[in-house]
Amino acid sequence: MFDPIKEVNEQLGKLRETAETKGIDLSREIRHLEAKLHRLEKDIYGNMKPWDRVQLARNPKRPTTLDYIERLFPDFIELHGDRHGYDDAAIVAGVATLEGMPVTIIGHQRGRNTKENMARNFGMPHPEGYRKALRFMKQAEKFNRPIITFIDTKGAYPGKAAEERGQSEAIARNLFEMATLKTPIVSVVIGEGGSGGALGIGVCDRLLMLENSTYSVISPEGAAALLWKDAKLAERAAETMKITAQDLYGLGIVDEVVTEVFGGAHMDVSLQSSLLKPVLTQHINELVQQGQTELLNGRADKYHQIGTIGS
């Protein structure tokens, strides 16, 4: 499939490279192409409805946390376990470097096929998954490593054992600990951000969302069933509930929307990773400049401001 955005992106990349390696001033040409790219994106994505984005966010081919980790952090080392008897595969965690800086990475992990999905419980963590995530957050705090979390889950697993072992408590504990964790936290929603199960690794200093990802308190189907007693009104709920990256940016909940490649992130994972990397790096770099008090006050204010007027 012809992808004009990808085409222009590649031309831009070549121009920038030429300008840099040969030391020629191509700034006019580059500006021209950037404007063209901007117009193209506006035309193509401007017409996308929230429901179209829900479909993209749920596309089984959509890149998962490990797909991004592979490309963004080639030196990633995965680490395991909650130290209380479990290693929840719906959460991946480990250490790596970002531009030479040690970072801790934690993310929901869906499967890329049925077999993987069985093993990963479709990316829906049990309480142990949240406790595993917390262990690595505490470790990151101890060693002054910024934390990057990838959010990609339909929600925390709604099971009998999960309730018995304290799903509520595990999520609540993470919100509580992340509240004053003394290291920068950047979260990126890469697919579906499902409610408390997403927030359980998502209390952060900067919230980024890929352009076609969603973040919601309930699925559009669930909202439609609950509010209008008709799950078929999901399409309408996807609009009313304001769950897209663009809507949430408008509400002041999301700090930056990350551009996706034409047709969605799954069309070119490597290109998508290269679009994400500079945004991620910039936010981490800004946050590591901040002092402890500034960082933690900023985090508290971020959540305080969402629902309040003029504070």
Partner 1 sequence: MTAFFKKPKRYMPLRQREPKIDAPQGLMTKCPSCKYMHYTKQLNENHKVCDCGYHFPLSADERISMLVDTGSFEKFPGPEVKANPLGFPDYEEKLAKDRERTGIEEAVVCGRASIAGHPFVVCVMDARFRMGSMGAYVGEAIASAVRQATAERLPVVLFTASGGARMQEGMVSLMQMANTSIALKQHDEAGLLYISYLTHPTTGGVSASFAMLGDLNVAEPGALIGFAGRRIIEQTIREKLPDNFQTAEFLLEAGQLDAVIHREQMRSFLHNMITLHGGGVDRV
Q: Does 308 bind partner 1 (CB under 8 A)?
A: yes
Q: Which two tokens stand for residue 68?
A: 């991004």
What is the closest distance, in whole angstroms, from the C-beta atom of residue 253 to partner 1 in the complex? 5
Do the beta carbons of residue 71 and residue 269 sit within 8 Å? yes
Distance from C-alpha of 41 to C-alpha of 55, rounded to nearest angstrom? 19
Q: Does 267 bind partner 1 (CB under 8 A)?
A: no
Q: Does 173 bind partner 1 (CB under 8 A)?
A: yes
Distance from C-alpha of 258 to C-alpha of 130, rounded to nearest angstrom? 26
Q: Does 133 bind partner 1 (CB under 8 A)?
A: no
3-state secondary structure 270-298: HHHHHHHHHHHHHHHHHHHCCCHHHHHHH
- Distances from the Cα of 310 to the Cαs of 206, 252, 303, 305, 307, in angstroms? 20, 13, 13, 8, 10
| Site residues (CB under 8 A) for partner 1, limited to 140-159 | 156-159
Q: Does 167 bind partner 1 (CB under 8 A)?
A: yes
Q: Does 300 bind partner 1 (CB under 8 A)?
A: yes
| Site residues (CB under 8 A) for partner 1, limited to 44-73 | none
Instruction: Provide the 8-state DSSP code for 217.
Output: S
Q: Does 257 bind partner 1 (CB under 8 A)?
A: no
Angle at 222 between CA 128 and CA 112, to 5 degrees: 50
| Site residues (CB under 8 A) for partner 1, limited to 191-250 | 195-196, 199-200, 203, 215-218, 223, 226-227, 240-243, 248
Q: Does 251 bind partner 1 (CB under 8 A)?
A: yes
Question: Which stretches of the chain bind partner 1, using CB under 8 A?
Answer: 156-160, 162-169, 171-173, 175-177, 179-180, 195-196, 199-200, 203, 215-218, 223, 226-227, 240-243, 248, 251, 253, 299-300, 303-304, 306-311
